[in-house]
Structure formats: structure tokens, C-alpha cells
Structure 1
Amino acid sequence: MVWRLQSDRNQLPLLLLRLLCLLPTGLPVRSVDFNRSTDNITVRQGDTAVLRCYIEDRSSKVAWLNRSGIIFAGQDKWSLDPRVELDKRSVLEYSLRIQKVDVYDEGPYTCSVQTQHHTKTTQVYLIVQVPPKISNISADITVNEGSNVTLVCIANGRPDPIITWRHLNPTAREFEGEEEFLDIQGITREQSGKYECKAANEVASADVKQVRVTVNYPPIITESKSIEAFAGKQAYLRCEASAEPKPDFEWYKDDTRLSSAQGLEIKNMGNRSTLMVANVTEEHYGNYTCVAANKLGVTNTSLYLYKRVIPTKPIPASERGSNAHFKHKGPGTAIVDNGSPNLAASIWLMVTSLLSLICKC
């Protein structure tokens, strides 16, 4: 049954040519081969296609046909399509122009030329290329860390576009393979961000779209530092946490929750919280706790506000030398008293021993 339908379809142009008297009735069907001398012409969707056909003399009978029927018979237009017209740049040219070509225009076109001596048919196969176009892509999504994620990117085009995925992180990692679906098993916080789908073929520039993936995870303290502060001065304690969604912060001193009151000011800005003490007193020194929490978890860290003491200023060596004075430790002996009694005693013993030896002599 399929073969019979195909056979009837192949016979349609012959019947039309005979109807137009462009093919003699007695001419055997097998002498006209529509698959012979077939030229392919490739046109991008939206452009203009010109199918060339030439005649031998001005008395020739000519016609253009496609699978749907007759388009032109001589100068008479049979098609109702306003995009179709004859392109006659010379008296011997009988070309067909199709404007704003679309995919349904693709297929075989037949130019038939009947002269006084013979019938010539030329077949042109019109190939319509379509630029890549992403027709469907996943919407932005939010998932918890550890979940499995599948991103979808559907694109159309002729020839079929090649689809690639890329994670737009600082390294711009491109995933292997050419797939419409991107599967991420056990997604991590580092895999959050924008993902780019690119559909490309050789017809035109690639079509590119993006989808954002937000990964929720519990807070982690990333920065905190204990500080020293002078009494009577301002002091700042700072705490930073990484989390998605953004964390809520609380401050405690020992077991007491703090608030912006009585010389304290708490400021929360995104992933950072600061505790400001306007005028440090003795009661402000001690242990503080920063708590960061979101719907997935809670964490904390301890910070200390230390008392800073002004050190005693040491006496310079030059000043110590100017205060030295002489003391007499014996007849005719002067010893410099610079706070070194052991050295003076040693010198005195040496002088006494020397005098003793002289007297014995």
C-alpha cells in the first residue's frame, strides 16, 4: 500500500506536465527521470531562494512544479503564495524566486521545458536551514545541599543543534557530552550559581540561555576575632558566617542575650554582624558568643573583649648613667656605685690582697 501511494505521488508531476502539453502523451514515462540532474540549493530560513532554470529559445513552453502542484505555467501564476515569483534576468531565463523561505518550502522543485524537438526537465531540491533556537529551559530553582538536580534545555534547528552546558563559576567549567539534560548528583554549595545552555549549529550564531541554581546550606562561621580595648574607648566585635539563606545573628555575654541598648549597638548586614560597645567599662570585659542560624541549622563562636593595660615606661640607659656617683671603700680608693655591689666587693678584695703581698716583702 505504501509503495502504491509513493508510486502515485511520483506520477503526479507527469500527469501535470501532460495536462500542460509540456510532455507528449505518447512519450514513455520511463524516459523522464526526475531523480537525474538534481541540484541541491541550501537557504537559511527567512532568506530568499532562487531556483535557476534556462530555456533554449523563446518559443519553448515552460512550467514550475513542486510536490503540491503547479506553481507557474509559462507566465501564468497558479500558486496563491505571494512570496513566489518568476526571476527573469534574461529572455532565456525561467528561474523561480521564493522570498522568506520557511521549512515547509523544503523539497523537490521541477522545471519543465518543452521545445519543438524534445522535453527537458530539471529538478532542484531546496534545503532550508534553521538557526538554533532554545525553546525550553529549566526555570531558576532552589534546592538543599545534597539533593539531585536535573536541568533541561530543549532547542530546535536544522541541522539539529549541538547542546552544551557550562557552570559560570570563576573557572567556567564546561560539562562533557552534548545533552539536553544536565544531571547533578548530590549538589554542593560550590555548585550553586548560573548554568549556561548553548545550542549551536553552522547556520547562525549560537543561542544561549541561563538558569540559576541556589543551594541552601546551614551556617558556618568564617571569621571572628577577639580584641583588646582601653577603658573609656569604643570597641567592636565582628562575626561573619557563610550560609544560604542568609543567617540571623544573636549576641550573648556569658548567658545573657544582648540587644541594642545601654551603650551597645548590634548591626546585621547580610553575612556579617558587629557588636559595638560605645564606652568600655570593667563590666564589658569578658566572654561573648556570636550565634548564626537559618532554617537548616545553627552555629556559634566565642570572642573575648580583653582589658588593655598601658605598660610602665622603662628608664633609659643614658639616664641611669647620669645618676652614678663615687663612694670611697677604702683609703685612696674610689669605686663607682652603679648598683653592682658584687663587682665593688671583688675589686676591694683584689686591692687588699695586693697590699698584703707588698707588706710581706
Structure 2
Amino acid sequence: MEGGWLVLAAVLIAARAQNNRISVTDDGPRFLSRGHSYRAVVGDTLLLPCQVQNLGSLVLLWRRGPAVLTAASLMVTRDERFRLVDGYNLQITDVGPQDAGDYVCQISDRISRDQVHTVEVLVPPSVRASPESKHAAARRGGAAVLECRASGNPVPTVTWHKLNDTNTRLGEGPQLQLSRLERHHSGRYACTVDNGVGPPIVTEFQLQVLYPPEITVERSWVHTGEGFRAELLCTVHADPPAEVGWYQNSFPLSASERITMSARGNNHTLLIANVQPEDFGNYSCVADNSLGRARQHVEVSGRPGPAVFTSPPLARRAASYLLAFAVDSYPPLDELRLLYRQLAINESFQQPGRWHDVVIPAPEPAGSLTHRVTHELRGLQPGAVYEAIVQAKNRYGWNEVSDIFQFHTLGGAHTAHADELTPMFAAASKNQLAYCVILTALYIMNALA
């Protein structure tokens, strides 16, 4: 480096001596190019012009800050990425972030005229993720923090999304903070880092929310019959994954010729083929993992299913109504009970009347699962609203009481429309329904006695 400076000094001394000999009548040197601001992307090749007229024997320097890069055609810098092309134009190859700054092309006369080029180096985005494994785990109710520290020029933006069906946008900034975690927070998250230089960078994270098992059953009551099959289904969500087992009356079940247990994803199925009397009873779907245990119950029963009313809510006559309903039962039905009453309705309240108890003869065996029953109610009041419930019995016992069904007879000062019956049904109080259930239970106890 010392030798370079000696050469530079000699060149400058010779140039100044020559400058002193220039006649004052000669035209002085002047720049043909102009100073400019340049933007270059990392890795590019950049050309900084410096064109001078009437330079004569004067020396042209390229400087960056206090450092001299070239003197005349002499390369002072040892950085091989710099060179002079087509005269005194300075070329920089493989531009890097360290090359940003002001570059000065200077005429070494007494005036020291110069031309300044400003270089801004555009740097594509880069990102540092935390956790580095890009996998985070936290317990339900806890919190998790995902981080994308971005760098680049211009300063990149960071946006967060959850990678699901809708790619939900969650916010901006280097951190994504998630609190009060629930099961649905589990999944893939992504930060997108972009500053317009090069393609955006997408970094994906996997968030695992740990929680004890949660069980839902497709049906809490499964209706079947001897010689038929019963299928019980429970859906289990858990992380860590749970071990799932089936129990009958608190005793663990094992696979056999008639009992099959299978799983597909979160769905666990217990299939009982050729049902026998001992198969009726209470079953449990039980799931365990390191965070806890969950249990849901399913009853397998031969009792009839709840009655479903099929008759329209508006009667065709003023004093009678043909009530129709369907009951599912594998064995023949032994007995049917119907309770109905009139509702006295005015603008402000409903006042129910007394219940009428009717024993309906059991229908002939249907030869199919569904038994369809019709029964005509007579002696009704014209233009009145009634409600009814039904219960059925087979050799395994009574079924659950049906939902309340409301119907309206023709005639009277006011004729209801179908849309008027719906609010009446919704307004039936729980106390009334509980009264129905209690009353029906008393009938059952009397019948059994």
C-alpha cells in the first residue's frame, strides 16, 4: 500500500507542475456527465460515469470518503471488483451492501472540481425464525409466540397468516402472539417477508396445542333388536393423541366374533353384530392421554324409539282430528299411550286444560322397523288449539316421551294458521313438559303395579 501512495503522490506532483504551465488562455476542464443517485440490487454490476472535457494533463481521481480508488488510469484500491471502463467510468461488479455511499469523481486542479454519485444498495429480504425448529407447543389456555426477524433494504414488511381454507390474515410485525389457546388454534402459520426486492420469503410454523381428550358421541341412545346389529360412534380430539377403549357397564370390551372396534381418524366405532339380550345396556367411550381422561356414555336399547308426529298441524274438521305418528321398534309394539289437552289462549297468556289419557291399541306387526299409527280424537272444541304427547312400549320397556305436538281444529271466532302454532310450541314451558313426564311416569308405575 505504501508503494501505491508513493506512485499517487508522484502522479499528483507531476500533474500540478503541468497545470502551472497551462496558459491562462486555454479552456479549463469540465464534466460532461452529471452526478446521479443509483439503486443497485445485491449482486448487480453498476457503472458510475465520469466524462471530462479538456482534461489535458490533469489527473482524475475516484474517491469514496477519504479512500482513493483510482488516480488517472492507476487502480489504487486492491478490490478487484472495481475497474475503469471506456476512459474514467467506474464499474463495480457483484455489488454488496458495503458498497453503498457517495462516490466522488474529482479533477486534481487548484479548484478540485468534483462530481458525486450516490449509490443505494437494495438487499433482498432475509428472515431469522424463532423457534428455529419452526415448531411450537403450548397447553390449552396458555400462550405461544412465533417470531420472524427480518432484514433487508428497504426495511421489509412482515405479515402473518394462518394456513387454512381461508388463509386468515392475523396481523403485521415481527411477532405473532397467541393467548388463551384452544384446540382450534392448532395448525400451520406463516410469516411473509417482503420489501419489493426479489421474491417474498414465506416461513411456515407448526403450532401444537396440547389438551386432554374431548369426546362427542353421534347418538347417546342406539336403538336395535335381537339378531340385528348396533353401531356406536364416538369422536375423540386430543393432543397428544389419546388411547381409546370401549366399556360395557364399566367392564372393558375386547374384540370377538360379534364385536368389532375400529378407528378412522378421530372417529372410533364399536360394532355389535347379531345383538343378544346381554348386549343391551350402557356403554362408555373412554379416551386417555398424558393430560387427562374423558368419557361419554351410549345406551344400547331394544325399547322403541321416540314417536314422531306425521299429521299436519291443521285439522280438517271442527270437532275431530286424525292424529298420525310413527314409532321405530324392532319387536312388535305392546301398548301406546296418548295424552292430549286443550290450550285456552288469549292475547296475553296460555292456560292449559286438563290432560286426557288415551290407551291406543297396539298396531298389527308392521313387518318393518317403523310402525305407523293413526288415532282419531273426537269431541274436540271448534277453533281450539291442542297439544299431545305419545309414549310406546314393547317387550323391552317404555320409550322416552315424545316432543309436544300442537294442532288446531277448524271453526270458532279465530282460525289459527300454521305459522301461529310454532310460537305456541316454543312457548311451552319446561314446567309443563316436566309435568307431562311425571304424569306419564305415574301411569307407567300404575301399569306395572
Please confirm whether the aligned pair reaches a TM-score higher than 0.5, indicating the same fold: yes
Distance 2:98 2:84 in 1: 19
Q: Label 1:41 to 1:23 Cα distance change in 2 as closer, same or farther (>3 A).
A: farther
Aligned match of 1:85: 83
Aligned match of 1:283: 278
Contact 1:246/1:271 (<8 A) preserved: no
CA deviations 1:101-121 (Å, max 9, x no partner) are: 001111221212358x97531
Instruction: Give structure 2 stretches of 5+ with no counterpart.
Output: 21-33, 303-328, 333-363, 367-449
Aligned match of 2:123: 130
Contact 2:146/2:176 (<8 A) preserved: yes
Q: How many correspondences in the alignment?
A: 286
Aligned match of 1:165: 160
Distance 1:220 1:119 in 2: 82
Aligned match of 1:266: 261
Residue 239 of structure 1: how far off its partner (Å)? 1.2
Aligned match of 1:39: 36
Distance 2:259 2:120 in 1: 76
CA RMSD of aligned residues (A): 3.0
* Aligned counterpart for 1:72 among listed residues 70, 79, 86: 70
Matches within 5 A, 1:214-225: 214-225=208-219
CA deviations 1:319-341 (Å, max 9, x no partner) are: xxxxxxxxxxxxxxxxxxxxxxx
Larger relative contact order (Cα-Cα within 8 Å, sequence gap ≥ 6): 1
Q: Label 1:210 to 1:80 Cα distance change in 2 as closer, same or farther (>3 A).
A: same
* Aligned counterpart for 1:153 among listed residues 148, 156, 159: 148
Aligned match of 2:61: 63
Distance 1:186 1:293 in 2: 23
Distance 1:175 1:17 in 2: 63
Instruction: Give structure 1 stretches of 5+ with no counterpart.
Output: 1-12, 28-36, 315-361
Q: Percent identity?
A: 28
* Aligned counterpart for 2:177 among listed residues 183, 199, 202: 183
Matches within 5 A, 1:244-259: 244-259=239-254
Aligned match of 1:238: 233
Large movers: runs of 4+ above 4 Å = 16-19, 21-27
Moved more, 208-217 or 17-26: 17-26
Contact 2:137/2:144 (<8 A) preserved: no
Distance 1:68 1:261 in 2: 90
Distance 1:184 1:120 in 2: 60
Contact 1:22/1:114 (<8 A) preserved: no
Aligned match of 2:297: 302
Residue 258 of structure 1: how far off its partner (Å)? 0.7
Residue 18 of structure 1: how far off its partner (Å)? 9.0
Contact 2:44/2:94 (<8 A) preserved: yes
CA deviations 1:102-159 (Å, max 9, x no partner) are: 01111221212358x9753112122111111113332311110111222221111012
Q: Label 1:64 to 1:17 Cα distance change in 2 as closer, same or farther (>3 A).
A: farther
Are 2:47 and 1:50 aligned?
Answer: yes
Distance 1:262 1:24 in 2: 110
Partner SS state of residue 250, structure 1: strand
Aligned match of 1:211: 205
Contact 1:198/1:207 (<8 A) preserved: yes
